[in-house]
C-alpha cells in the first residue's frame, strides 16, 4: 500500500472524527457515564490526537516516542480546542501527502518508543517505518472511535454505523452481504 493511500485513509478517519466533534455539545464531550465507562469522549480524542502529535513531532528526528505525549487537558475538555488541533493535524498530514514530501518519507527508517508493560522500567526503541506507523495510527484511531461510538450511543447520540468499525470488518461485511 502506498504512503499516499495510507495518509489519505488517516485523513479520512480524522475528518470523520471532526464530523462527530462538530455535532457534540460541551456536556456530551465531557460526560463520563460511570460505572459503564471510565473516560469521556474528550479523553479518547485527546489520546488519539496525542499519538498523531507524537508521530508528527518525531518525523524530523526519525524517532517517535509515544510514551512522551503532551496529554494536554485542554484537548480533552475544550471541544473547540480539540477540533482546532484535529484540523491542524489533518493539514499537516495533507502537506505530507504531497508528492515531494512523500518521496522524502518513503522508505525512511524510524525508531519508535512505546511502553508495552508498566512493569518494564526500561523501554528500548524498535525499528519501524513511516508507513507502518501510519497503519498503527489509523488502527489505534478506529479502536478508540469504537469506544467513542459506544459511549455516544449509550448517551443516546446517533452515530453513523461505520464510525469506529475497522476497514477489514466493513470489507468483510460487504463481501458477505454480496454473497447472500
Average pLDDT over residues 85-99: 91
Assign 133 a pLDDT band (cuts: 50, 70, 90).
Answer: very high
Provide the whole-model pTM.
Answer: 0.92
Task: Check whether 2 has a pLDDT greater than 80.
Answer: no
Closest CA to 55 of 41, 72, 42, 67: 67
Cell of 126: 524498535
Which CATH number covers residue 32? 1.20.120.450
Assign 180 a pLDDT band (cuts: 50, 70, 90).
Answer: low
CB atoms near residue 133 (< 10 Å)? 20
Specify burial of residue 10 (Cβ count, 10 A radius: 0-12, 13-18, 19+): buried
Q: Which domain holds residue 114?
A: 3-179
Residues 6+ apart with CB under 8 A from 53: 69, 70, 85, 89
Phi, psi of 31 (to 5 degrees): -65, 135
Task: Check whether 113 has a pLDDT greater than 90.
Answer: no
- For the segment 47-83, what is each residue's pLDDT rounded down to a tens digit? 999 999 999 999 989 999 999 898 999 999 999 999 9
**Which CA distances in Å does 144 have to 16, 102, 139?**
13, 27, 9
121-130 as b/e, with b when 16 or more CB fall inside 10 Å? eeeeeeebbb
Within 31-78, where are the H helices? Answer: 41-59, 73-77
DSSP 36: T
Q: In the chain, how many domains are there? A: 1
Cell of 48: 488519539
Pairing of strands 109-113, 63-65: parallel
Amino acid at each position: 500500500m502506498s504512503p499516499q493511500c495510507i495518509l489519505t485513509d488517516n485523513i479520512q478517519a480524522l475528518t470523520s472524527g471532526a464530523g462527530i466533534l462538530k455535532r457534540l455539545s460541551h456536556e456530551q464531550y465531557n460526560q463520563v457515564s460511570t460505572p459503564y465507562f471510565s473516560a469521556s469522549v474528550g479523553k479518547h480524542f485527546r489520546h488519539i490526537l496525542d499519538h498523531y502529535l507524537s508521530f508528527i513531532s518525531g518525523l524530523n528526528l526519525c524517532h517517535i516516542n509515544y510514551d512522551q505525549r503532551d496529554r494536554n487537558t485542554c484537548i480533552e475538555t475544550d471541544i473547540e480546542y480539540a477540533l482546532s488541533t484535529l484540523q491542524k493535524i489533518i493539514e499537516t498530514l495533507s502537506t505530507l501527502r504531497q508528492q515531494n514530501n512523500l518521496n522524502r518519507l518513503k522508505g525512511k527508517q524510524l525508531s519508535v518508543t512505546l511502553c508495552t508493560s508498566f512493569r518494564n522500567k526500561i523501554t528500548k526503541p524498535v525499528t519501524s517505518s513511516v508507513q507502518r506507523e501510519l497503519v498503527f495510527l489509523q488502527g489505534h484511531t478506529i479502536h478508540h472511535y469504537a469506544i467513542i461510538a459506544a459511549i455516544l450511543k449509550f448517551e443516546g447520540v446517533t452515530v453513523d454505523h461505520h464510525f469506529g468499525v475497522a476497514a477489514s470488518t466493513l470489507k468483510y461485511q460487504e463481501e458477505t452481504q454480496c454473497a447472500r
